[in-house]
Amino acid sequence: MAIYGKLSDAFGPRGWWPGDTPFEVIVGAILTQNTSWQNVEKAIERLKKDSLLTPERLYDIEESILAEAIRPSGYYNVKARRLKTFMAFLFEEYGGDLSLMFSEELGPLRKDLLSINGIGPETADSILLYAGCKPIFVVDTYTKRIFSRHNFISPDTNYHETQDMFMKNLPKEVELYNEYHALIVHLGKNFCKRKPNCRDCPLFSSDFVPDTLP
């Protein structure tokens, strides 16, 4: 929480995840795999322009047409297949009703999402937290990089071990998990890069400074 406070003071509210609807958040979570958010935004704008950004349209559309629509996101054939696989799950299990899907308990729903081909822990947890408002902490490359450099975890700590560290040491609050992850992403993109800028980092003056600075 001390780290959260310093990041919050330095960066302010992040307003993440951008999206007009929970469904848009889900689509963005799948499209953002292995690409920048700028590319995802372009793909989502194309879906909106073509009136495709609804569960019904994405369920009915041919995969090849969807792939062309999301071309700016990169790996568009793979991502079209993943979107169609998710849509099949949504309609076969919940009749296309997101509110019904998110009425499920966190544990069983997370297990079901992870069973969908192409949806790993980070994507599943992003869907659960940001679209479903479920209390689960999202871990990404920035999280592991920052907290291993500050000796909270080792560089080879896996996803779920890292996630457990946060969830056991933070209040179980959706808004906190949401904002904390967004702050971590901002820190990772702007300061804790592969070649870190430690001296300008908001955490530099704290007790969490790495032993060796670049």
HEC profile for 50-99? CCCCCHHHHHHCCHHHHHHHCHHHCCHHHHHHHHHHHHHHHHHHHCCCHH
Q: Which amino acid is at 166?
A: F
Q: For residue 19, name the pLDDT band (cuts at 50, 70, 90).
A: confident
| Contact assessment for residue 91 and residue 57, using Cβ atoms and an 8 Å cutoff | no
pLDDT for 18 equals 84
pLDDT for 15 equals 86
| Contact assessment for residue 136 and residue 106, using Cβ atoms and an 8 Å cutoff | yes
Please list the alpha-helical segments (H only) found in 70-170.
76-94, 98-102, 106-114, 121-126, 141-149, 159-169
Q: What is the pLDDT of residues 182-200, one digit of tens each?
A: 999 999 999 999 999 999 9
Q: What is the pLDDT of residues 131-145, one digit of tens each?
A: 999 999 999 999 999
Q: Which amino acid is at 64?
A: S
Q: To the nearest 10°, report the CA torsion of 12, 18, 21, 22.
A: -90
Question: Considering the entire predicted model, what is its pTM?
Answer: 0.93
Q: What is the pLDDT of residues 148-162, one digit of tens each?
A: 999 999 999 999 999
Q: Is pLDDT at 208 greater than 80 in this prediction?
A: no
Q: What is the mean pLDDT of the chain?
A: 94
Tell me the domains of the chain and their CATH numbers.
2-14+138-200 (1.10.1670.10), 22-131 (1.10.340.30)
Lowest mean pLDDT among 12-16, 189-193, 208-212: 208-212
Q: What is the pLDDT of residues 82-112, one digit of tens each?
A: 999 999 999 999 999 999 999 999 999 999 9
CA 198 to CA 202: how far, in whole Å?
Answer: 8
Q: Is pLDDT at 209 greater than 80 in this prediction?
A: no
Burial string for 92-105 (b: 16+ CB within 10 Å, else e) reads eebebebeebbebe
